[in-house]
Chains A and B, each alone.
Chain A
Amino acid sequence: MKDKHTYHDSEASGLLPDALRVNPYTVPAGYFEEMQRYILQRCNVIKASEDAFDVPPGYFEQLEQRILANVKEQKLKSAVSEAGFIAPEGYFNKLEEQSFNLYKLQEKTDSPGFTVPGNYFDALRERTLRRALAVPATSRKLAPVRWVAYAAAACIALAVGITGLLRLPGQDQAITREPLALVSDQDIINYLELYGTTSDITYISEHLEDFGERNIGEGLNEEDIEAYLNNTL
């Protein structure tokens, strides 16, 4: 007895005649030869494209490190640009405007407007040299006031020394006063210019003529002169 839940091929086959097992579909002539050639071509193209994208040995081992290094570089660049210089607000807008205005101005003015005579620049150097040679050479005085002061001081010191010698015991008063008269008016003026007050200069200039008739230091005692010198040297 057959199990009614078991399927047997013989039952099914019996329902369909073998005549129907024939393949009713067709293909174009030479189709399978052409298909084989075409499939092989496609495989070769894929193979060639895979070979074309080959990578050097060890490429993928280094790829990660290089990508991470690039990421760090980009982070660093962005950090530096953020913390770096900043421009005032609206600077670039103004700059653009100014540049544009300058450009427009330059466009309008073909030349600077100023002109010079013909061959001006050729003759300029020559004329400059000629003028320079025509001017008498002047040497620059380096601290002239100081030089005069030293000379005057030396004269005064000399006069005082001579006066001192003349005042030694046993010598005549007239003799001691005589060397002081040897100091020239100019030396005295120079000295006072340096060390004297404005009133001294005024006084001397007013009575310069009188000095020729009198001896220098007349009317001054020696102590005053010495005290004066001690204060000024």
Chain B
Amino acid sequence: MIEDAQILEKFADARTRDEAFSLLLKKYQQKIYWHVRRLVIDHDDADDLVQDIFVKVWKNLGNFREDAQLYTWLYRIATNECITFLNKKKQRQNISLDDESSAYLADSLTDTSYFNGTQAQLKLQQALLTLPEKQRLVFNMKYFDDLKYEEISEIVGTSVGALKASYHLAVKKIAQFFEAND
């Protein structure tokens, strides 16, 4: 697998810029897609968002500061785009932005034809939609992407302690959901 530093070096050269971006897509597009998909649930929404995210990356990669990790920078862009999208979706459905639940996405979960999980996996996703958005975000990055708290902290701009508490609360709520829906 090509290193991030090599991708950035190639991107800095106008002659190899396209090649560098192809390498970046190859390396990160699936990770970013799944991160987005778990947050917005619907495949078509995720598809639109991922394209917009990578166009934004292409436009701004020249300004990327190498003191940060490339993949955390990508995750940050993706996360911000998802939060903006979800807020707009809430407004379209006349849901208050103060309502922290993601229950409005439950229909997308059951309607989607691109779901191949077991009943237990479906129940976990349903449980996740009862969580506040921030907890769901942290849980996804910790549980599915296996990111370290330090990395998540860099992405969402929250302290490691707050992230740990958030993850702990999310797991407890999910466990309670399972118990209640057995």
Partner-B contacts on A (CB < 8 A): 7, 9, 11-13, 15-16, 19-28, 32, 35-36, 38-40, 42-44, 46
Contacts and interface: CB of A to CB of B under 8 A. Distances in A.
B117 A35 contact: no
B55 interface: yes
Contacts of B171: 12-13, 15-16
Interface of B: 18, 21-22, 25-26, 29-30, 33-34, 37-38, 43, 47, 50-51, 54-55, 58-59, 112, 114-118, 120-122, 124-125, 143-144, 164-165, 167-168, 171-172, 174-175
Contacts of A16: 124, 143, 171, 174-175
Given A39-B51, A39-B55, A24 B115 contact: yes
A16 B125 CA distance: 13
Contact of A12 (B47, B114, B168): B168
Contact of A24 (B50, B121, B164, B175): B121
Contact of A11 (B25, B124, B168): B168
Nearest to B50: A35
Contacts of B124: 16, 20
Contacts of B117: 22, 24-25
Nearest to A38: B51
B114 A27 contact: yes
Chain B CB within 10 Å, residue with most, of A21, A22, A39, A44: A39
B175 to A, nearest CB: 4
B147 to A, nearest CB: 12
Contacts of A39: 25, 29, 50-51, 54-55, 58
B34 A43 contact: no
A19 B123 CA distance: 13
18 contacts: A11-B168, A12-B171, A13-B171, A20-B120, A20-B121, A20-B124, A25-B37, A25-B38, A25-B114, A26-B114, A27-B33, A28-B114, A32-B30, A35-B47, A35-B51, A39-B54, A40-B25, A43-B55
B91 to A, nearest CB: 25
Nearest to A42: B55
Contacts of B25: 36, 39-40
Contacts of B167: 7, 9, 12
Given A12-B172, A46-B58, 7 more contacts: A32-B29, A35-B29, A35-B51, A36-B25, A40-B21, A40-B25, A46-B55
Contacts of B165: 7
A15 B43 CA distance: 29
Contacts of B50: 35, 39
Contact of B33 (A11, A32, A43, A46): A32
A107 to B, nearest CB: 64
Nearest to B143: A21
Nearest to A36: B25
A7 B114 contact: no
A22 B114 contact: no
B43 A40 contact: no
Contacts of A22: 117, 121
A40 B18 contact: yes
A21 B50 CA distance: 23
B58 A43 contact: yes
A38 B125 CA distance: 30
